[in-house]
Structure 1
Amino acid sequence: MSAPPGPVRIVIVDDHSIVRQGLRSLLERQPDLEVVGEGATAAEAVAVVARTSPSVVLLDLKLSSGEDSEGLTLCERLTGEHDGLGVLVLTTFLDDKLVVEAVRRGARGYVVKDVDTTELVRAIRAVARGESAFDSRSAAAMVHSMNNRSSEPELTERELGVLRLLAAGSSNRQIGGQLYISETTAKFHVRNIMRKLDVSTRAEAVYEASKRGLI
């Protein structure tokens, strides 16, 4: 996939203002990179991405809650709601499971914050082209975890509920009505289920889930 024309539009999501300022200063020295927005919280990130339509989101996993899960959930939401958006995790923490989980949630890349500027810029450009980007330690962590984890997909309780309704032939609107969520949210869950099961249609998702004993 080739990079979009014009500068790569970037949103920085980090709960530390000084980190955002430093990244903006570094990145805007590159003629092909443009920082179009910043966010300190998940809510701010959702709003600024919707408003600015970036190509790449630089995302720290540790946001205001101090837990990894908020950044991971945000990654999943942003990539689910914005087709073609590339999320590059930029964080202090390097853990095998975190790297794999970030990729499962839609991230295209993962680099740690002590990476040098040249490598960070390279990673951003790769993600903007639709490619994957990992620094050497993150890549090693991912390979290690992939070699040691179970191949069974992990579906959330909500996704399992959606899957059961899919098996009953429910549409996105019907799923939303029965689970008291919006049709858009139902569609978001269906897409995640298909991604996790590595299938391309709803029928294939039901078939694959039944083979695995998930429904």
Structure 2
Amino acid sequence: MIEVDEEVPARRADRTGASQHVRIVLVDDHAIVRHGLRSILEREDDLQVVGEAATAAEALAVVARTRPHIVLLDLKLSSGDDTEGLVLCEELTRQHPDLGVLVLTTFLDGGLVVDAIHRGARGYVVKDVDTTELVSSIRAVARRESSFDSRSAAAMVQSMNAPASGPSLTERELNVLRELARGLSNRDIGSKLFISETTVKFHVRNIMRKLAAASRAEAVYEASKRGLI
């Protein structure tokens, strides 16, 4: 269900540098996360949460209605797709060119950071970032600056500096890939590596994307050709 606050006109900054309300929409499929973020952000005098959404369709509707300055966006908006937020990011920034999208997610991968920026995001932070850094990132994006926490920035630089001749797989992705080559299911891989089945699916999708593979078997074949396993 879309949650929208009654629209309150934003206080625009004047030429003297007076502060303004930064209007924010929260997009996350977990209500408890949205409510926690709201309670944290609304402690700040200059931040105002004007709406919430759990799905891409809801997000598009609430953004169109409330016209926020910032969308705080999770990449995973459903159990079936770990990166649905990337598609939403691209659509939001296409429809609203002045909108600042700040990705707030549990997924840390250089390729995802770069992809998010290519799709219009102005920043990328992981969910365990401290409150002060999150608030600073929101304010930076509101000023039309880019903002990344230290780990996201490092992952992005590593991804961008990877040799063009081959894909850059993380250590975790290589571990998942080795188990794929042994024919293990997602559930069995998760049990062996002590990670959730959902996380395994996320890594498998990333592996397939990086290897330009259409299937798990093709990913293993491509990895074998490149000497990755």
- Scaled to the shorter chain, the TM-score interval is 0.5 to 0.7
Q: CA–CA distance in 1 between the matches of 2:150 and 2:77?
A: 24
Query: In the alignment, which residue of structure 2 is the partner of 1:75?
Result: 89
Per-residue CA deviations over 1:105-142 (Å, capped at 9, x if unaligned) read 10000000000000000000000000000000000001
Bigger relative contact order (CA 8 A; separation at least 6): 1
Offset of residue 4 of structure 1? 4.7
Would the alpha carbon gap of residues 145 and 19 (structure 1) be closer, same or farther in structure 2, given more than 3 Å must change?
same
In the other structure, the counterpart of 2:154 is 140
The amino acid across from 1:142 in the alignment is M
2: CA distance, partners of 1:14 / 1:101: 19
Q: Please give the alpha-carbon distance, in whole angstroms, between the structure 2 residues aligned to 1:141 and 1:18.
A: 28
Q: Say yes or no: does 1:29 pair with 2:43.
A: yes
| Residue 116 in structure 1 maps to residue 130 in structure 2 | yes
**Is there any run of 5+ residues in structure 2 with no aligned partner, and where?**
1-10, 14-19, 166-229
Cα offset, 1:66, TM superposition:
3.8
Query: Counterpart of 2:85 in 1: which secondary structure?
Result: helix
Q: Secondary structure at the match of 2:145?
A: coil
Q: Deviations over 1:166-186 (max 9, x none)?
A: xxxxxxxxxxxxxxxxxxxxx
1:106 correspondence with 2:136: no
| 1:150 CA displacement | 4.3
Contact 1:108–1:132, Cα closer than 8 Å, also in 2: yes
Q: Which of the two has greater helix per residue?
A: 1
Write the distance in 1 (CA, Å) between the matches of 2:102 and 2:12.
17
CA shift, 1:67, in A, is 1.8
Match of 1:90 among 82, 92, 104: 104
Question: How far, CA to CA, are the matches of 2:111 and 2:105 in structure 1?
Answer: 14
Alignment CA distance shift 1:73-1:117 (3 Å): same
- The 5 A counterparts of 1:1-215 are 4-5=12-13, 6-148=20-162, 150=164
- Which whole-Å deviations, capped at 9, do the CAs of 1:44-100 have from their partners, x for residues lacking one? 000000000000000000002442331100000000110210000000110111111
Moved over 3 A (4+): none
DSSP 3-state at the match of 1:21: helix
Q: In 2, distance between residues paired with 1:109 and 1:46?
A: 19
1:178 aligns with none
Contact 1:46 1:78 in 2 (8 A): yes
Uncovered stretches (5+) of structure 1, i.e. residues with no partner:
152-215
Q: Distance in 2 between matches of 1:83 and 1:149?
A: 33
TM value normalised by structure 1: 0.67
Aligned-residue CA RMSD in angstroms?
1.6
TM-score normalised by the chain length of structure 2? 0.63
Q: Is the Cα contact below 8 Å between 1:4 and 1:129 reproduced in 2? A: no
- Structure of larger gyration radius: 2
Match of 1:177 in 2: none
Q: Relative to structure 1, is the Cα distance of residues 34 and 149 closer, same or farther in structure 2, using a 3 angstrom cutoff? A: farther
